[in-house]
Amino acid sequence: MDNSRKYIVQLIIILVGITFLTKLFSIQVLDTKYAKAANSNIINKVIDYPYRGIIYDRNGELIVYNTPQYNLTVIPNDVKKLDTIKFCEVFEITKEEFDEKINAARRFSYVQPSIFIKMLSNEDLARVQDHLVDFRGFNVQARTTRAYTKPVLSNALGYVSEVSKRQLERDTTNYYQQGDYIGQSGIEAYYEEYLRGRRGVKYKIKNVKGIEKGDFEDGKYDTLSIPGENLTTTIDLRLQEYGKELLEGKAGSIVAIEPSSGEILSLVSGPSYDPGLLTGRKYSTNFSAISLDTAKPLFNRPLMAQYRPGSIFKIIQALIALQEGAISRSTYIPCIMRPMKCHYHGPGETLVGAITNSCNPYFYNVMKRVVNTGLSEDSYEDTRLGLSSWTENVKSFGLGEPLGIDLPNEKTGLVPSVEYYDRAYNNRPWKYSNIYSIAIGEGENLVVPIQMANFAAIVANRGYYYIPHLVKSIGNSGQPLPQYLEKHFTTVDTKHFDVAVEAMAEVVRSGTGQYRAKLKDIEVCGKTGTVQNDPMPDHSVFIAFAPKDNPKIAVSVYVEDAGQGARAAASIASLMIEKYLLGETERPHIEEFVKKGEFLY
Amino acid sequence: MSTRDDISNNIDWLTVMLFFFIALLGWMNIFAAVYDESANQNIFDMSLNSGRQLIFLGSSIILIIAIMVVDYKFYDTFGYFIYGGIIFLLVFVLLFGREVAGSKSWFELGPMRLQPSEFAKFATALAVAKYMSSSGFRIDRLSKQVVLFAIVGTPAILIILQGDTGTALVYSIFVLVFFREGMSPILLILGIASAIIFVLTLLVSNHLYLYIGIVVLGAISILLIKKKTIKKVGLVIAGGLIVSGVIVSVDYVISDVLKPHQQNRIKALINPDGDPLGYGWNVTQSKIAIGSGGFSGKGFLKGTQTKFDFVPAQSTDFIFCTIGEEHGWFGSLVTIGLFVALLLRIIHIAERQKWRFSRVYGYSVACIFFFHFAVNIGMTIGLFPVIGIPLPLFSYGGSSLWGFSILLFILLKLDSHRTQVLVH
C-alpha cells in the first residue's frame, strides 16, 4: 500500500490548521475594522440634553422655565397585538397617520426606538398613561420644553423649536444636531449660546436587541450635559403685564427704559400672542396660525415698526440748533403760519414756548438756520454743508442706525442725509425749500419706538445714553454684555438739555400733556406727537420721563390710528410711570379711558 | 493481569489528556458565552449551559469507563449489530422523533433530548472498519466499493431526510479514509475539483471565461500526455465535459435543489457583505466577534459580542467566536494547536495498529474529528458556508459530547490491546 498517503492526510490537517491561523491573524491582528464594528455593535450613544437656561425678571421673578414633555417612542419589533383603532383614539391620530409613522419607524430600525409622537404634555401623558401598558413596544421618553409663567413679553422672549434642516445646513460651528432645540427669535435667539448649555453624551452598552446593558467602559467616555446659563432680564414683570393690559385691543408699542442704565423695564408689542402656544406638540399648527394672522402678532413693533417722529423731533431740532449756536433759548420767532400751518397759539414764541405749543413755523426757521449757515455763497451748496453736519448731530441721538439692542431684527429708522436726497432727487439740485418738512419730524424721517424711548432717556440723562438692553445679568456674572456698560454721548452739550427738560416739563404742566399725563406728586416731562397717517387716523405718540430730577423711567408710547398724542399715548405713558414709581395708579378714570380705547372724537 | 491494569498500562494517556483539556476549555467558553455579568452567575449553575455541560462531561466519563471495561473484541464482533441498531434508531426518529429547529432528529426521554445522528458516526465507523477488515475485501473492486458507499450513504441519507444536511455532510469525509486505505484518488480529486468549480462558478459571473479556461487546461493536458492513446485523450475530454456540466448545473443546483437558507449560506460565503443584516448576519457577526479579539483578546468573560447575543448559537455551533473574542489570536492558536495535535495523535495511533479493523476505525475517527473541526472553525471565519455542525468536545450539547467521547475512546480501547491482536 502507498505509505505516502498517511503523510498526505496529515499534511491536509496541518495545512487546514495553518490556513485557519493565517486567516485568523489577518482578521484579528491586522484588520482593525472588526474591532470598530464590534464597538458600534454594542455602543449606544445616548444624548443627554442640557437644561436650557431659565429667564427671570429684574426682581428675580420667573418668566421662562423648563417643563417636562414626553416623546412617545416605538420599537417596531416589540409592537405585538396592537389594537390600532384604540391606539388612534387615545392619541388622537388617524389610521393613515399611524401607518405613515409606523412605516417611518420601521424604515429607521426594527429594534431601536424612534420617536412616534413628539411632545406629549403632562396632561396628555396623564390621559394616555393608563393605556400605555396595552400598547407594547411603545415607550415614553422625557424631554424638557419651554414654559411661561405669564402670557407676556412673547415678542421679546422669542420662542424655541427644534432646529430646522436649513439651520443645520447653515450651522458653521457644527454644534447642532437633528433633534436639538434652538432659540428662533427674541432673547431665545440672541442669547442662544448662553441659554443652550452643552449636550452630554453617554455611551451605553446594548445587546443585539438594543436593550441597555450598562455603561461602556464604566462611563469613561461619558460627558455630562452642562445646563445653560440663566438670564436675569431688565424687565419689570408687573410693569410689563400692566403695559400689556393697557395695550389690549390696540396696535402699538410701549417701551420703558431706566435712563441711568439703559435697562428696558418693559417692552410691549400689541397685538401679541401667548408664548405658551409656541411650545410643545401644537407648535407647528399654532405657529402657522399666528404667522398668518393679519394683525401680525409676530411683528415686534417696538423694534420693527417705523414711524415718522412727528412733533417730538422738534426737541432734537432745538437741541442741535442750540449746540450749533443757531438760536438761543430766548430766540423769538413769530408764528406766521407759513410755510407750514400751525395750531392756534400765540402770535410768536421763544424756544420753550415753541416746544410746548409745538409751533411748526418756529422749527421751520430753526432748521433753516441750522442748515443754511452761509458757509457757501451758493444756497444749494450751503444746504448740503449744513445738512451733512445736521445728519451727524441727529445720528448721535441713536437714530437712523440700529441701536444695538440685544434682540434680532432691529430696524434702523431713517435720518435723511445729503446722499439720500441726491438719490431721491436723482442728482438734480435741491435745497432747504425742498426738504423742510423734516424740520418738524415729518417728511422722510423715520424712527422706531425703541429709539424714541432712548431719546427720552437721553433728555432725562441730559445728553447721554446706554444702549437699551433686555438682559442685565448672564448667569451669575451680574453683568450684561460689555457693550451695554458703555456710555454714549450725543454731540449736544449737557448744558443745552436744560431747555429741553424745561420745555418737556412745561408740556405736561401746562401744554398738550396737562390733561392726561400730569401726576400729583411726580413731575413728569413729556412731549406729544401726532404722526400723520393718511387716510387712516393719526398715530398717537408720547414720550416722557419722570421724575424731572433724577429720572427713574423714560417711556415711549405708540398707539396706531388713535389720533392725538395727548390722548391715548399720553394716558398710557403716564399710567406706566405711575405704575412703576408708585405701584398703582391714582387716576382710575385715566386707566378706564385707556382700557375703553375710544380715543377718536 | 487484570483488565484494569491492562487498560491503565496501555492506554494512550496523551490523547486522554488532550481530550479532557479540550473538553474543559470548551466548558469554560460555554460559560463565557452565556455569562451575564449583572446576574452574578456561577459556572456550575445548572440552569446555565455550562452547568449542564459539566453533567454531560461527567456522564461521558461513565460512558468512557464502560467502553474501557467491555472486551475490545466486542466492537469488532458486534460492529454490524451496533450499526444496524443505529440505522433502526435513525428510521425510528424520522417517524416518531421530535422536530427541533427544522430538524426531526431528536428523541425526547423525559427531561433529556437525544440526537441519534450523533451516535451514527461511531457506528458507521465501526461498520466501515469491520467491512474493510473482512477477509477477501479489496478496495479496488467495484462491488466492494458499492457496499462501502452503501454503509456510509445509508445513515447520511436518513439524516438528510431528518432535515439535518450539515450532519449528513460529515459522512463525505469517509472518502478520505478510503483514500488512505488505497482507493484511487480520482474520487477525492474529483470531489475537490467539483467543489472548486462550483465555487468558481459562483464567483465568476461570466461563465464564458470558465469554459475558455477548461478548454485551455484540457488542451495543455492533452499536450502533456506522452502516449496520446485514445483512452487517455478521451478521459481528458470527458473530464472537461463533466466539469462543464457542473458549471451548467450550478444555477440549477443553487436555485432548485438547495433550500433557501442553504442558498443564502453559500451567498454569504461568496459575498458576506452583500446583506450584512440578512443572510450575511451570522458570518458577519461571527467575524466581528472573532476579529475584535485582537492578539490577546478581551479577557475571560469580557467579550461583548457573544454575550450580547450578536453571534447566533454562541454556545453550540459558534462557540469558537468566544475564544476568538475573549482570547484573541493567541487563544485561537492554542485551540487550533490542540485540535491539530489531537488529530495527528489519532492518526499516529491509527498508523501503529496492526489490525486493519483498528486502523480503519482510527482513520475514521481522525477524519470525522477533522471534518467537524475544519468546517466548524472555517464557517465562523468565513472560509466555509455555514453548516451547523458542532466543534468536537467543545460545543455545548450532550449527544455531541457523548458521540465524540464514544468515537474516541473505542479507538483508545482498541489501541490499548494492539499488542494482543494477531495480524490476519
pLDDT in tens, B313-346: 788 889 999 999 999 999 999 999 999 999 999 9
CB count in 10 Å sphere of residue A173: 6
Cα dist from B188 to A9, A175, A370, B344, whole Å: 12, 64, 115, 20
Query: Is the pLDDT assigned to residue B161 strictly greater than 80?
Result: yes
Mean of all residue pLDDT scores within chain B: 84
Nearest Cβ partner for A16 among B37, B333, B374: B374
Contact of A142 with chain B, judged by CB distance below 8 Å, is answered with no
CB within 8 Å: B291 and A27: yes
Residue with cell 420617536: A115
Q: Which residues on A lie below 8 Å from B282 (Cβ)?
A: none
Q: If DSSP codes are grouped into helix, strand and coil, which group holds residue A544? A: strand
Which is higher by pLDDT, A423 or B279? A423
What residues of A are in contact with residue B324 (Cβ under 8 Å)? 24, 28
Which of A123-137, A197-211, B73-87 is most confident? B73-87
Q: Distance, in angstroms, between A20 CA and closest chain B CA?
A: 7
Collapsing DSSP states into helix, strand and coil, what is residue A381?
Answer: helix
Q: Give the integer Cα–Cα distance in Å for A583 and A577.
A: 9
Question: In terms of CA atoms, which chain B residue is nearest residue A26?
Answer: B291
CB A546 within 8 A of CB A552: yes
| Dist CA A249 CA A247 (whole Å) | 6
φ, ψ for residue B31, nearest 5 deg: -60, -45
Of the pLDDT bands very low, low, confident and very high (cuts 50, 70, 90), residue B83 is very high
For residue A45, give how far its alpha carbon lies from the nearest alpha carbon of chain B (Å): 16
Per-residue pLDDT at B2: 46
Q: Write down the number of H helices and E strands in chain A.
A: 22, 20
Dist. CA A131–CA A67, nearest whole Å = 23
Distance in angstroms (rounded) separating the CA atoms of residues A328 and A321: 8
The grid cell for B142 is: 467495484
In degrees, rounded to 5, the angle at the alpha carbon of residue A287 between the alpha carbons of residues A285 and A290 is: 110
Locate cell 414654559: which residue? A147
Q: How many CB pairs under 8 A join A and B?
A: 122
Q: Tell me which of A456-470, A494-508, B409-423 is least confident.
A: B409-423
Mean pLDDT over each residue of chain A, to the nearest integer: 88
Residue A298 burial (CB < 10 Å; 0-12/13-18/19+)?
Answer: buried
Q: Write out pLDDT tens, residues B30-51.
A: 998 888 776 777 888 888 888 8
Question: Grid coordinates standing for B371?
Answer: 471534518
Nearest CA in chain B to A18: B336
| Cβ separation B37–A16 shorter than 8 A | no
Which residues of A are less than 8 Å from B302 in CB distance?
A: none
For chain B, what percent of residues have pLDDT higher than 70?
Answer: 90
Residue B1's pLDDT is 41
pLDDT at B274: 59
Measured between alpha carbons, how far is A194 from B382 in angstroms, rounded to an integer? 53
| Residues of A whose CB is below 8 A from B272 | none
Q: What is the pLDDT of residue A216?
A: 72
- How close, in Å, is residue A31 to chain B by CA atoms? 8
CB neighbours (10 Å) of residue A329? 14
Non-local (6+) Cβ contacts of B187 within 8 A are B175, B178, B179
CB B109 within 8 A of CB B93: no
Is the confidence metric ipTM above 0.90 for this complex? no
Strands A55-56, A231-233: pairing is: parallel
**Cell numbers placing A237:** 414683570
Q: Nearest chain A residue to B177 by CA: give it.
A: A9
> Contact B293/A28, CB-based, under 8 Å?
yes
| Residue A515: all three cell numbers together | 390733561
Write out chain B residues lying below 8 Å of A16, CB-based. Answer: 370, 373-374, 378
Predicted pLDDT at B287: 87
CA atoms within 13 A on the CB side of B67: 24
Å between A39 CA and nearest CA of chain B: 9
pLDDT of res. A240: 95
Work out the pLDDT band at B275, boundaries 50, 70, 90.
Answer: low
CB pair distance less than 8 Å for B292 and A29 = no
The amino acid that residue A500 corresponds to is: A
Euclidean distance between CA atoms B57 and B49, whole angstroms: 12
A43 interface with B at CB cutoff 8 Å: no
Q: Which of A10, A28, A32, A211 to mutate to test the interface with B (most CBs of B within 10 A)?
A: A28
Q: Find the CB nearest A34 among B287, B340, B343.
A: B287
- Give this prediction's pTM: 0.64
Q: Is the pLDDT of residue A1 over 60?
A: no
pLDDT per residue over A18-64, tens digit each?
999 999 999 888 888 888 877 777 777 777 788 899 999 999 999 99
Enter the C-alpha cell of residue B113: 433530548
Cα(B335)–Cα(B341) distance, integer angstroms: 10
- Interface probe, candidates B139, B173, B308, B342, chain A, greatest A C-beta count within 10 A: B308
Distance CA A120, CA B404 (A): 61
Phi, psi of A148 (to 5 degrees): -130, 135
- Examine residue A449 and say whether the peptide bond preceding it is cis (omega within 30 degrees of 0): no
Kindly state the average pLDDT of the residues B211-219.
81
To the nearest whole angstrom, how far is the Cα of A16 from the nearest Cα of chain B?
7
List of E strands, A94-230 = 114-120, 138-148, 160-162, 181-183, 200-206, 212-215
For residue A511, pLDDT over 80 is answered with yes
**pLDDT at A247 exceeding the cut of 70:** yes
For position A398, what pLDDT does the model report?
93
Handedness of CA B134, B136, B139, B145 (dihedral sign): negative
Q: Are A447 and A309 in contact (CB under 8 A)?
A: yes
Instruction: Decide if pLDDT at A356 tops 80.
Output: yes
- Residues A414, A266 contacting (CB under 8 angstroms): no
Residue B28 corresponds to which cell in the numbers above? 469554560
Map grid coordinates 400751518 to a residue: A341
Helix, strand, coil percentages, rounded to 5, for chain A:
40, 20, 40
Residue type, A310: G
Contact B324 A28 (CB under 8 A): yes
pLDDT of A304-335, one tens digit each? 999 998 889 999 999 999 999 999 989 999 98
Q: Is the pLDDT score of A528 beyond 70?
A: yes
Residues B140-153 pLDDT 10s: 888 888 999 999 99
Residue showing cell 406629549: A120
Residue with cell 431713517: A414
Structure-block grid coordinates of residue A528: 406729544
d(C-alpha A163, C-alpha B204), whole Å: 50
Q: Are A96 and A143 in contact (CB under 8 A)?
A: no
Q: What are phi and psi of B83, to 5 degrees?
A: -60, -45
Question: Is the distance from CB of A267 to CB of A449 less than 8 angstroms?
Answer: no
Answer whether B332's CB lies under 8 Å from B374's CB: no
CB contact under 8 A, A38 and B304: yes
Contact A574, A544 (CB under 8 A): yes
B263 pLDDT exceeds 80? no
CA distance B182 to chain A (A): 6
Res B270: pLDDT: 65
